[in-house]
Copies of this chain bind each other. A is one copy, B any other.
Amino acid sequence: MAELDAFRAETRAWLEANCPPSMRTPMPDDEIVWGGRRARFKNPDSKLWLERMAARGWTVPTWPKRYGGGGLAPEEARILEEEMRRLNCRSPLQSFGIWMLGPVLLEYGSEAQKAAHLPAIARGEIRWCQGYSEPEAGSDLAGLRTRAVPQGEHFLVNGHKIWTSYADLADWIFCLVRTDPLAKKHEGISFLLIDMDDPGIRTRPIRLISGASPFCETFIENVRVPLDNLVGGLNNGWTIAKKLLEHERKMIASIGERQRGAERSLAQLAKTYCGARDGKVADAVLRDQIARHEIDQRAFRLTQRRAAEEAKGGAPGPASAMFKYYGTELNKRKFELLLQCLGTQALGWEGDGFAAEEKRITREWLRSKANSIEGGTSEIQLNVIAKRVLGLPD
């Protein structure tokens, strides 16, 4: 206990001394630092902050120090998190490398792979994207067709990935590829790392119903990938894929939680757009629906907290399917309620006549519809709960 108290004091002091004041303000979307070869820093403090944190290994606090991490124990990492929140410190670096590839390499990667990739992720030098889904392999992810054929020291890779977020901005892609077309479909898949700086790789952004999006299609044509870039052994990719999907679910589950400083609550918007009486939302029916939603949302957050307390920071299990399912459905409900509050003011697309907040809500309402599709549909999550949590038969 005393050691942890000392760590807290030390951490607090360091953060107060080293976190630039502009990094203690709410982060606009366009100042999020994703790193990568082509990284640009709109705010120079962001770069400074990244470098300082990376130097301590605190962009990835629990990773071993030898791979650029902070080497912190889980309790220490939680203290770091609490102290950062206390000071409103921005996250110095976000990336799929940190959230998804890193944990996989730590568990399945060779020593050479760890040494080659982890420090670059920790310092934000390389930006990764994820190549999982394909047009014909959505919910049936294991039905993927991208082929990797061993030829001497290389695989020759051909295929078509979809929903690769930020593929157009990424440097490398971690991919599921089919290495044995004759094996049962879950058994012929491998996990491969591919440098995207290859003329055989082409990306095309996907426009969503909500407008521009970070999603891309990624076309891979006759790309040669060193055999060394195989992670976890040949035809062993599905094990890794399942692990990663659980991490992804957990990430998406809290999609409605991002609180921006300027965002007004449902109840505040209802009062504005539908009127208030005696300090209450005037429309009793709407008020009841808002309360129902807020109750569900609070119970959901309490459940996330309870799960964290029960797991003590362990890896997400099949119950993560519940969080993915419920969290995304809640978020969709929230936006439907917002639209109901805003009425015709939520029907603008662009141009005059609608406030920025109104147009943001309209776009996010549409974007929220993907929540229950991306990272495994709600239907897939319910299947997982039924099978792996409840033990219902196939």
A positions within 8 Å CB-CB of B:
283-285, 288
Q: How far is the CA of A346 from the CA of B305 in the complex (A)?
A: 38
Q: How far is the CA of A288 from the CA of B289 in the complex (A)?
A: 11
Q: In the complex, which residues of chain B have a beta carbon less than 8 angstroms from the beta carbon of A283? A: 284
Q: How far is the CA of A285 from the CA of B288 in the complex (A)?
A: 7
Cβ of A275 to closest chain B Cβ, rounded Å:
14
Cβ of A1 to closest chain B Cβ, rounded Å:
50
Nearest first, the 5 A-B pairs at minimum CB distance are: A284-B284, A285-B288, A285-B285, A284-B285, A283-B284
Q: How far is the CA of A285 from the CA of B281 in the complex (A)?
A: 13
Residue of B nearest to A283 (CB): B284
Q: How far is the CA of A223 from the CA of B285 in the complex (A)?
A: 62
Cβ of A187 to closest chain B Cβ, rounded Å:
28
Q: In the complex, which residues of chain B have a beta carbon less than 8 angstroms from the beta carbon of A288? A: 285
Q: How far is the CA of A285 from the CA of B283 in the complex (A)?
A: 9
Cβ of A290 to closest chain B Cβ, rounded Å:
12
Q: How far is the CA of A254 from the CA of B193 in the complex (A)?
A: 63
Q: How far is the CA of A288 from the CA of B286 in the complex (A)?
A: 10
Q: How far is the CA of A283 from the CA of B283 in the complex (A)?
A: 11
Q: How far is the CA of A288 from the CA of B292 in the complex (A)?
A: 15
Q: How far is the CA of A283 from the CA of B284 in the complex (A)?
A: 8
A-B contact pairs, 5 of them (CB 8 A): A283-B284, A284-B284, A284-B285, A285-B285, A285-B288
Q: How far is the CA of A288 from the CA of B284 in the complex (A)?
A: 10
Q: How far is the CA of A283 from the CA of B288 in the complex (A)?
A: 11
Residue of B nearest to A288 (CB): B285
Q: In the complex, which residues of chain B have a beta carbon less than 8 angstroms from the beta carbon of A285? A: 284-285, 288
Cβ of A285 to closest chain B Cβ, rounded Å:
4
Cβ of A101 to closest chain B Cβ, rounded Å:
39
Cβ of A276 to closest chain B Cβ, rounded Å:
15
Residue of B nearest to A285 (CB): B288
Q: In the complex, which residues of chain B have a beta carbon less than 8 angstroms from the beta carbon of A284? A: 283-285
Cβ of A278 to closest chain B Cβ, rounded Å:
14
Cβ of A283 to closest chain B Cβ, rounded Å:
8
Q: How far is the CA of A284 from the CA of B283 in the complex (A)?
A: 8
Q: How far is the CA of A283 from the CA of B287 in the complex (A)?
A: 12
Cβ of A5 to closest chain B Cβ, rounded Å:
51
Cβ of A322 to closest chain B Cβ, rounded Å:
24
Cβ of A308 to closest chain B Cβ, rounded Å:
35
Cβ of A212 to closest chain B Cβ, rounded Å:
35
